[in-house]
Amino acid sequence: MFEQSIIIVMLISIVRLSTPVVIGAMGGLFSELSGVMNLCAQGLMTLGAFFAMLGTYYTHNPWIGVLCGIAAGALGGLLNALITVEFGGNQNLFGLGLNMFAGGVTAYFMRVLFKSSISANVENLWNTSFLRGIPLVGPILSEFSPLVYIGIVLVGVVAFVIYRTPFGLRVRAVGNDPRTLETAGANVWRLRGLCVVLCGMIIGLAGAYLSLGQMSLYMDGMVAGKGMLAFIAVKMGQYTPWRITGMALLFGFFDALQMQLQMSTTIAFPTELVQTIPYVAAIIIMFLNSKVDMPKAIAKPYTKQKYNV
Amino acid sequence: MRNTESAARVSAVDMRQILKTFPGVVANDRIDFSVEKGEIHALIGENGAGKTTLMNILYGLYHPTSGSIYLDGEERQFTSPIDAINAGVGMVHQHFMLIPALTVAENIVLGCEPRKKVVFDYKAAVSGVEEICSQYNFTVNPREKTANISLGMQQKVEIIKALYRGAEILIFDEPTAVLTPQEIEELGRVLQDLKAVGKTIILITHKLKEVMAFSDRITVLRSGKKIKTVNTADTTAEEVTYLMVGRHVDLAGNRMATKAKENILEVRDLCLEEKGKQLLKNVSFDMRRGEILGVAGIDGSGQNELSDIIAGFRKATGGTIQYMGRNLLSEQTRTIRERGVGLIPQSRHEQGLVLTMNIAENLILGHPQRKRFIKNRVFLNNAQIEMFARERVDSFQIKTPGLRVEASKLSGGNQQKIICARETGETSEMIIANQPTRGMDIGSIEQIHKVFMDARNTGKSVLMISLELDEVMSLSDRIMVMHNGEVMDIIDAATATREQIGLMMVGHVPVPQEKRCPDEW
Amino acid sequence: MNGKLKTILLPVVMLVFAFVFASVLMRLTGNNPLLAFGAMIQGAFGNPSAIINTLNRAVPICICAFAVSFTRECGIFNIGIEGQLMIGALGSTIAGIYITGLPLAVHLPLTLIVGMLFGMIWAALPAAMFIERKVNIIVLFLFMNNIASYILQYFIFGPMKGAGAAMPSTDLIQESARFPYLITSPNKLSTAFFLVFAVAAILYVYIHKTFGGYELRATGKNRVAARYAGIPVKKYMYLSVLGPGALAGLAGSIEIQSKYFRLIDGFSPGYGWDGIPIALLSNGNPVAIILGSILFAAMHVGSSNMQMQAGVSSLIVEVIQGFLVLSVAMERFYRYILSRPGRKKEG
């Protein structure tokens, strides 16, 4: 039996808290590499978390819930594709709008269904019990949700797709210079739209982890700043999957730190101020990382001729 | 001996009655255009004549409003470039469609990448490229990052791109715009090689020298209409110009003889370093009152950085600039402009105009005497603004329905005129003109040249940066050639030759002292 | 379609669609939209007392909307208004409670100024990081909002904890810091109401009638060209963020000094967020901003009645807010749809 030393507790906490940001950032990477800013991460994650809970609530099967979360994210991505890719709308405005809209719609349905800001308890995906049998590390590894492992695999898959497949090559190209890709005969809008929907699906998964993997319910505002952290982790990680994961772990560290300080009885910090730590840390990190190059065509909508009214 | 149209023989390309309209503009007015297999056919006309539009239709980027396209006698419908590429049409664009961050091979195969199951087969891409290179004697390294190769090389990459996809018909859009004279000759050889293996070539250009040297036949477009198709051997440059413009043209302006005057600008050892790269290296030169100093060089030789620094937009990392006896480098842009420096920046949409503001507002943008337009210390003096704007519009014959029209609604040429009108006013002592006539029609170019010449004749100075060597040579008193951030030499325009300048543009060491400019001319 | 007509028609169409969407949502959850909106209008305008309530609510919303609108003129998105409002309120409360012995004529404006200063300071860090180092300002503002709410909670539950109040709050501010009432019956309308018009007038004149406003607008429309023209771009960018920061602080201070007279946990139901869609839809038109603010205030005030009588959660207002911001992002889509009837299909 392992002694639950403070280090082990912190490590487990960091992994748990970083997972939604890592997964969310992987989705964001596709979007941003193809030239679409992913400010809507917060809204997508909210939709994912809410619908994952809802799916589980009605079917009592958390994996169906996960699929629902992914589907909700895909729908959000589809809306993104319509508004920003097809019609060239302002990506920042869309991001902000989706965040506000998703927050409002989910809160509204919460009142309708549960009459409160907290949902009923649903089946969760807290542990991966079949790992318990592994000698030595088994008990620790089984503490993590299967979604965490999916997340880890996802990072590898994303890295492979971006750097070793033609699809990944075109994604990197379209974020740099869409006109070049168009003259090479590829459909820029379809490519970007696909990236954006993919992004929505992956962030939906991240949301599902929040409601099913970390908690066992959905709460108003449970996404908190995680969506935004997923958004900036992409840039802070210089658009490479491994650095982004590192950045997300760093954010997770501060989050874990904040939680430990709140619970600790030996050092008395005012809880409200402790809760600001992750945000303050994020701001400092953003300041230090301000000189990163972004894909050249990012946030510049590439409009089709027929829409120039 | 060739005939222009033979009923028995089928043309490689036959575009019939092509009509293309955009909101408010007829870009192609029922044009008939045909090209024989294996010929080099020049499609010529001024900026805005409709040549690029016509070829974009052939390449599937635009859809014609009406009209039809036949390739080798078969009618084709192109809904996108993919269709055109599959039909054997390839295009080498004026602004290269290359991603700097990717390698040459990656750029060439982008869109039709060779695969090994799901993975991108980079090795196959590289060998495919090497095959084409050996066939045409191109010395391009497929694994090199595109950002690191010269513009002439980049053009070769564009050609390989088209050949890789099996193009039989190659369209070149303004191919010589960014090339040095030597590279232009090289291009001519490449065109002959391509012709020798049976490729059909269409050259879109407005440069007469290359047209007369390279083409077999010429089709002239003017204002969206086809004027005439002639055999190159049967015509002259003057006749073609006449067909292009509709009248005789004199671009060199009216140079008056003047005595040498004192220096207005002294630049010493100007350096600019950014991200580890030396963009400007020890640039030193003088500019006198009452002269036009032309700056020649291929794109990216440091001209933009130089003009940005003098205008105060960027800070140099070393060196000094004395303007009218006072140090310029430590000053803000606003102060520099108040001291009489005008700047015509190279991108009119991004740097020169606020497109969503109206013409009057654009004409007073950054005016050195802004107190004139301020009432009671804070308010806008609309009456003065209107008066000033009206005078400028009349003086430059800017075509506009009114002063309060949004600048985005004007044509490119008129937009450029707004910038010129603004920067060459009576308060400007020194004008930095960075590609001032790019994209303008000949009438407007004549006008701007006259403005510069008048300024010079009345004792002002013009630093004219241009990629059009003809413009630089005809307008300047002296020519400064830049390469790779350095000044190669400053020579007297009257005795300079294209070959001489061309060599310096690629970095060859300049010829000895005798050819340098005298103290008086 | 006529350009002027489009500028007025488009926001109206967006508003209509937003309410249509809300109605659909209500239907989906088994409610009657007509009943709901009717109850909302009743709750907001049904009697003079309610109207005054609505007008009171409109004041901070309106000032926030003007703040967002001003920043927009320089091309920046100031969504940190909510946080700046909160910190401004904090500053105002501190000055209102702890500075004693001053007459109303001095204390009231002083407290307002302190509030504005606090709001401005809270906007300063994101402004500097964005203007000097190009850090993403939207994310910065959002984080600052979160930090602000924690800071306020800290003070309310900690050093500034009020004695014997029903809900978590600080002590009451001095009488000399409170806005006098314009009318007290049937309901209390504060004199702070006039500040809205003062703000509107000053901003409008500055932006459209002064040379500085012209240079600000040029900076907003094309920053690069403005720099080439010698316009001191950074100065205007700071102005366009710090000024609204002060305005947000003003809005927060007004809330404390005219309504609550103490700093209450969660006193702002999101005035800063209301300001965003209003500013976006109004496109700088002060009349539209004022009308829009009254509309949103009505929605908030009437929503409790709507909840009671029609059983529709007041959160529908947030849905409408988000929908409107999305609509503005969809602008080109709306324009395309609106212009379809009259046009031939292009190739």
pLDDT digits (tens, 9 = 90+) for B473-482: 889 999 999 9
Residue C147 corresponds to which tokens in the numbers above?
A: 């930090």
pLDDT attached to residue B45: 84
The tens digit of pLDDT for each residue in A146-166 reads 899 999 999 999 999 999 898
Statement to judge: residues B119 and B223 lie in one domain: yes
Query: What is the rounded distance in angstroms from the CA atom of residue A59 to the CA atom of residue A66?
Result: 11
pLDDT attached to residue A289: 83
**CA–CA min distance A34, chain B (Å):** 13
pLDDT band with cut points at 50, 70 and 90 for residue A265: low
- Contact residues for C290 (Cβ-Cβ < 8 A; gap 6+): C58, C62, C196, C200
Residue C292 corresponds to which tokens in the numbers above?
A: 């829009």
Query: What is the rounded distance in angstroms from the CA atom of residue A21 to the CA atom of residue A19?
Result: 5
Distance (Å) of CA B348 to CA B312, B367, B471, C224: 18, 17, 19, 11
Last residue of a domain, one of B245, B270, B296: B245
The tens digit of pLDDT for each residue in B498-517 reads 888 888 887 777 655 444 44
CATH of the domain at B68: 3.40.50.300
pLDDT attached to residue B285: 93
Number of domains in chain B: 3
Around Cβ B291, how many Cβ atoms within 10 Å? 23
Statement to judge: residues B98 and B26 lie in one domain: yes
Q: How much is the mean pLDDT over chain C?
A: 89
Query: What is the rounded distance in angstroms from the CA atom of residue A26 to the CA atom of residue A15?
Result: 16
The residue with greater pLDDT, C175 or C237, is C237
Highest mean pLDDT (candidates A281-295, B39-53, C204-218, C320-334):
C204-218
Interface contact C273-A100, CB threshold 8 A: yes
Nearest residue to A40 via CA among A104, A108, A95, A103: A95
The tens digit of pLDDT for each residue in C248-271 reads 999 999 998 888 888 888 888 889
Q: C7 contacts in B (CB within 8 Å)?
A: none
Residue B257 corresponds to which tokens in the numbers above?
A: 């003889």
The tens digit of pLDDT for each residue in B382-425 reads 999 999 999 999 988 888 888 888 998 888 888 999 999 999 98
pLDDT attached to residue C122: 96
In a domain, B233, yes or no: yes
Q: C322 contacts in A (CB within 8 Å)?
A: 97-105
| Antiparallel, parallel or unpaired: β B74-76 and B119-120 | unpaired
Percent of chain A with pLDDT over 90: 53
- DSSP string for C253-282: HHHIIIIISS-BTT--SSHHHHHHHHHHHH
The tens digit of pLDDT for each residue in A34-44 reads 989 999 999 99
- What ipTM was estimated for this complex? 0.89
pLDDT of B518 higher than 90: no
The residue with greater pLDDT, B516 or A89, is A89
The tens digit of pLDDT for each residue in C287-303 reads 999 999 999 999 999 98
pLDDT of A237 higher than 70: yes
Distance (Å) of CA B379 to CA B287, C133, C206, C216: 39, 33, 8, 13
Distance (Å) of CA C289 to CA A190, C46, C286: 38, 23, 5
Interface contact B82-A180, CB threshold 8 A: no
Distance (Å) of CA A265 to CA A10, A262, B354: 16, 8, 60
pLDDT band with cut points at 50, 70 and 90 for residue C181: confident
- Contact residues for B150 (Cβ-Cβ < 8 A; gap 6+): none
Q: Which of C87, C139, C324, C344 to substitute to test the interface with A, most A CBs within 10 Å?
A: C139
The tens digit of pLDDT for each residue in B420-460 reads 999 998 889 999 999 998 877 777 888 889 899 989 988 89
The tens digit of pLDDT for each residue in B109-159 reads 888 888 888 888 888 889 989 998 888 888 888 898 888 888 888 899 999
Minimum Cα–Cα distance from C345: chain B residue:
B65
The tens digit of pLDDT for each residue in B370-381 reads 888 998 888 999
- DSSP string for B160-181: HHHHHTT-SEEEEESTTTT--H
Kindly give the interhelix angle for B412-423 and B442-457, rounded to the nearest 10 degrees.
10
pLDDT attached to residue A4: 63
Interface contact C214-B380, CB threshold 8 A: yes
The tens digit of pLDDT for each residue in B50-107 reads 888 899 899 988 899 999 999 988 999 998 888 898 999 999 988 888 888 888 998 9
Q: C7 contacts in A (CB within 8 Å)?
A: none
**CA–CA min distance C346, chain B (Å):** 8
Interface contact C347-B62, CB threshold 8 A: yes
Kindly give the interhelix angle for C104-133 and C81-98, rounded to the nearest 10 degrees.
150
Partner chains of C (3+ C-beta pairs under 8 Å): A, B
Statement to judge: residues B235 and B259 lie in one domain: no
Task: Note the CATH architecture for domain C3-342.
Answer: Orthogonal Bundle (1.10)
Minimum Cα–Cα distance from B63: chain A residue:
A305
Are the CB atoms for B521 and B260 separated by under 8 Å?
yes
The tens digit of pLDDT for each residue in A242-256 reads 999 999 999 999 999
pLDDT band with cut points at 50, 70 and 90 for residue A99: very high
Are the CB atoms for C150 and A275 separated by under 8 Å?
yes
Q: B97 contacts in A (CB within 8 Å)?
A: 177, 179-180, 183-184
The residue with greater pLDDT, B97 or A132, is B97
Which H, E and C letters describe B5-74, residue by residue? Answer: CCCCCCCCEEEEEEEEEECCEEEEEEEEEEECCCCEEEEECCCCCCHHHHHHHHCCCCCCCEEEEEECCE
User: Exposed (0-12), middle (13-18) or buried (19+): which is C338, by Cβ within 10 Å?
Assistant: middle
Interface contact B98-A165, CB threshold 8 A: no
Residue C301 corresponds to which tokens in the numbers above?
A: 């005030």
Statement to judge: residues B318 and B273 lie in one domain: yes
CA neighbours closer than 13 Å in the CB half-sphere of residue C93:
28
Which H, E and C letters describe A178-239, residue by residue? Answer: HHHHHHCCCCHHHHHHHHHHHHHHHHHHHHHHHHHHHCCCCECCCCCCHHHHHHHHHHHCCC
In a domain, B203, yes or no: yes
B283-308: average pLDDT: 91
Query: What is the rounded distance in angstroms from the CA atom of residue A62 to the CA atom of residue A208?
Result: 9
CA neighbours closer than 13 Å in the CB half-sphere of residue A257:
14
Statement to judge: residues B207 and B324 lie in one domain: no
Kindly give the interhelix angle for A6-33 and A241-263, rounded to the nearest 10 degrees.
140
In a domain, B1, yes or no: no
Partner chains of B (3+ C-beta pairs under 8 Å): A, C
Sign of the CA dihedral A233, A234, A240, A241?
A: positive
CA neighbours closer than 13 Å in the CB half-sphere of residue A304:
18
Interface contact A101-C325, CB threshold 8 A: yes
Are the CB atoms for C255 and C268 separated by under 8 Å?
yes
In a domain, B31, yes or no: yes
pLDDT band with cut points at 50, 70 and 90 for residue B298: confident
CA neighbours closer than 13 Å in the CB half-sphere of residue C279:
28
pLDDT of A30 higher than 80: yes
pLDDT attached to residue C345: 45
Whether the bond between C286 and the residue before it is cis, its omega within 30 degrees of 0, is no
The tens digit of pLDDT for each residue in C27-86 reads 988 888 898 999 999 899 988 888 988 999 999 999 999 999 999 999 998 999 999 999
Around Cβ B374, how many Cβ atoms within 10 Å? 17
Candidate from B62, B85, B120 with C-beta closest to A169: B120
Q: Give this prediction's pTM.
A: 0.86
Q: How much is the mean pLDDT over chain B?
A: 86
Nearest residue to C111 via CA among C10, C317, C320, C254: C254
pLDDT attached to residue B96: 85
Statement to judge: residues B210 and B154 lie in one domain: yes
pLDDT attached to residue B209: 82
In a domain, B4, yes or no: no
pLDDT attached to residue B6: 47
Residue B70 corresponds to which tokens in the numbers above?
A: 């036949």
Which amino acid is located at A143 in the chain? E
pLDDT band with cut points at 50, 70 and 90 for residue C342: low
pLDDT of A230 higher than 60: yes
Statement to judge: residues B237 and B290 lie in one domain: no
Statement to judge: residues B91 and B225 lie in one domain: yes
Which amino acid is located at B11 in the chain? S
pLDDT attached to residue B253: 60
Sign of the CA dihedral A132, A138, A141, A143?
A: positive
**3-class DSSP state of A38:** coil
pLDDT band with cut points at 50, 70 and 90 for residue C170: confident
Structural domain span for residue B147: 13-245
Around Cβ B25, how many Cβ atoms within 10 Å? 12
